[in-house]
Structure 1
Amino acid sequence: MTTQRTKLPGVGTQYDIETRAGRHISVVAHQDGRRFLGFYEPDDPDACQATVPLDADEASSLAELLASADTPRVRASEMDLDLVTERVPVTARSPYRGRPLGETRARTRTGAYIVAVLRRTGPHPSPGPEFRLEAGDAVVAVGTREGVDELARIIAGT
């Protein structure tokens, strides 16, 4: 197998790979993290059969699959856990506006976890029970569909 690297000014780097079987594959690594895979005709190494665009996460997952001799680790978002992550708005009508997060008793009542609160001034990861909610906040919740829906009703006061 041979690999050739070519700088692409203003774009990134192209890596051309010729497999032991004589197939030509290229990877164009853009500076912004995107990747493009190119597959070439066996009889004509300059004729591209197809290209596959990949974002940075997709490229990382593919690299992990190709590099690993063992079964690759599966990200939580790919597991069959039936969990959702959702932003729940805190409106001016919320009964919890101006009150500590702990008063919602979210986890006890719904099984959903509040993993962050997004505020105009910035995110607040892992807020404690004393964290006070404000109108305009968005609560980031993780749980079952039913649990997150119930949390949204609690925050909304419905």
Structure 2
Amino acid sequence: MDADTALELVKKGAALLFLDVPQHTLFGIDTQIFSVGPNFKGIKMIPPGPHFVYYSSSNRGGSDFSPMIGFFIDLNPSEVIVRKWDPQEERLVKVPEEEEERYSQAVKSLEFDKYLGPYTLSQYGEWKMLSNYITKSVIERIGNLDGTHK
């Protein structure tokens, strides 16, 4: 992908900024799953629409994992969702509104760009087929299973 196309996708796509996620945590979005490395801060270039986000924390060595926690979100173009890792509860939690706005602006001005992994667009078609009936109203009706709301 050329640089201009990538920049356009970064600006128009949504982003998930996840702060302080421990290394070796399994993190996934839709049909994609990753093992968190030392520089991980989230995912960028996410197409607008419904998505399923899930994660599982691990022990320090990355050999034992907690049960998966997951939730549906419906993302708008250029939207940034900010969550922070709570080490006591071993889950992602919302940050205060003013902090979220500050981080959101930093993501939009590309300050976190090198710490955000790109959404694998080649797998998006598969996710679109799987999530064909998941709409914003369905997501609102079931609520977020992790207890937080957008």
- Do the two structures share a fold, i.e. TM-score over 0.5? no
The structure with the largest helix share of the pair is 2
**Greater RCO, CA 8 A, separation 6+:** 2
Structure that is richer in strand per residue: 1
Q: Which has the larger radius of gyration?
A: 1
* TM-score class, shorter: under 0.3
